[in-house]
Amino acid sequence: MSLEWRARSTSLAWSNPLAWWWGLLTLVSGVNIAIWFLLYGRLRDQPGGALGGAPGIGLMLLLCAAYVFGCALRSFLPRADVQRICLFDTWLSSVVVGRSVATVAEVCFVAQWAVILHPLGLMTGADTTLNAAWVIVPLILIAECFSWYAVLTTNYLGNAIENSIWAVAFFVVGIALCRLLPEFDGRVRVALAMTVVGIAFYLMFLMTVDVPMYLSRWRAVVANGGRHLHPLEGLRDVCTRWVVTHDLAEWKGEIAWMSLYFSAAVWASLALCVVYSLQDDLPRYLTEATVAISAPDTAAVVSNPPIPTTGL
């Protein structure tokens, strides 16, 4: 059985590695959607709260849904914004649609981290973690502005700055989680340590692969005397122009980050829902010193944890 799509005199068949890559993205996204529905069913049926066992779990599931389904759409219809390239000739492949979906999804993803960090900071009395919860959403909103600037003007420098801000935001998250390590024992401390390691690998990828790639593209355009679009000119361009290409060379620079983004990052979003649903169990993993200092505050946080809404 062969797979073939016709678009602007190009075709994509199973002999093309892009077909296998697209098929893998689609499969992973389908599984991610199934996991979200499974989590929704399980957490909805738990006692306590309007939805699930933990107060605010409904909001967490909603934020996760925006990220899971947003990434799924971008997996089904891959595109590269600045280059205006895509795999399928459909208006859903337009940059303005894809970038808008990505903006909402990414803000919701970082909001999940804020919703997780805030009650943990209150539970342990960790001001560093509390401050991180309030800072990361505004940081990502700024990053999204640079992303849109890059997309509208076709200036890769905006992408480099955007991803640098993502690195700063998750460096802050990593510091916040490190601050929590001495406050917990047992499996919670192990989970925190594993998350910090995962963030460290993410930061390494950003600073050694992603940001240098965009800086290299920016320098190449400048060296060749390339012209950047005016933002208003770019707005019309992102609404009307998308170029279908099945040339592996055109996609080579996008495959690595897209593959990680639409798999590991989505798994992190789903995992945050699971962690949040277990927050009632977290106090029993607090160290004795932490319990002695923050026992009254811990009870209040568990019964009704405040949810940061900055940027939402």
Neighbours of 171 (CB within 10 A): 17
- Greatest distance between any 2 Cα atoms in the chain: 71
Q: What is the token pair recorded at 161?
A: 């700055």
Q: How high is the pLDDT of residue 45?
A: 64
- Residue 149 in this model has a pLDDT that exceeds 70: yes
Q: Which pLDDT belongs to residue 281?
A: 84
Residue 94: which pLDDT band, with cuts at 50, 70 and 90? very high
Average pLDDT over residues 241-249: 92
- pLDDT tier at 293, thresholds 50, 70, 90: low
Phi-psi region of 48 (alpha: psi -120 to 50; beta: other; left: phi over 0): left
Mean pLDDT value of segment 292-312: 50
Separation of alpha carbons 52 and 31, rounded Å: 22
Residue 90 has pLDDT above 80, yes or no: yes
Q: What is the mean pLDDT of residues 102-107?
A: 97
Nearest CA to 274 among 21, 33, 27, 61? 61
Amino acid 47: pLDDT = 56
Comparing 186-190, 267-271, 277-281, which segment has the lowest mean pLDDT?
Answer: 277-281
Task: Please provide the DSSP assignment of the chain as one string.
Answer: ----EEETTEEE-TTSHHHHHHHHHHHHHHHHHHHHHHHHHHHHHSSSSSSSSSTTHHHHHHHHHHHHHHHHHHHHS-EETTTTEESS-SGGGSHHHHHHHHHHHHHHHHHHHHHHHHHHHHHHT-HHHHHHHHHHHHHHHHHHHHHHHHHHHT-HHHHHHHHHHHHHHHHHHHHHHHHHGGGB-HHHHHHHHHHHHHHHHHHHHIIIIIHHHHHHHHHHHHHTT--PPPHHHHHHHHHH--EE---HHHHHHHHHHHHHIIIIIHHHHHHHHHHHHTGGGGGGGB-HHHHHHHHHHHHHHHHS-----TT-
Q: Cα(88)–Cα(110) distance, rounded to whole angstroms?
A: 29
Does residue 27 carry a pLDDT above 90? yes
pLDDT: which is higher, 53 or 142:
142
Using alpha carbons, select from 168, 113, 165 the residue that is nearest to residue 143: 165
pLDDT grade, residue 308 (50/70/90)? low
On the question of pLDDT at 146 being above 90, the answer is yes
| Average pLDDT estimate for 294-302 | 50
Domain ranges for the chain, please list them.
17-303
pLDDT digits (tens, 9 = 90+) for 122-140: 988 999 999 999 999 999 9
CA 271 to chain centre: 12
pLDDT for 220? 94
* pLDDT, greater one: 110 or 13: 110
Cβ atoms of 99 and 81 closer than 8 Å: yes
Long-range contacts of 163-166 (CB under 8 A, 24+ apart): 163/206, 163/210, 163/211, 163/214, 164/206, 164/211, 165/139, 165/140, 166/140, 166/206
Residue-wise pLDDT for 220-241, tens only, equals 999 998 889 999 999 999 999 9
Q: How confident is the model at residue 54 (pLDDT cuts 50, 70, 90)?
A: low
Q: How far apart are CA 241 and CA 228, in angstroms?
A: 16
Give the lowest-confidence range in 171-185, 243-257, 284-298.
284-298
Identify the pLDDT of residue 43. 85
Question: What is the pLDDT confidence band of residue 285, given thresholds at 50, 70 and 90?
Answer: confident
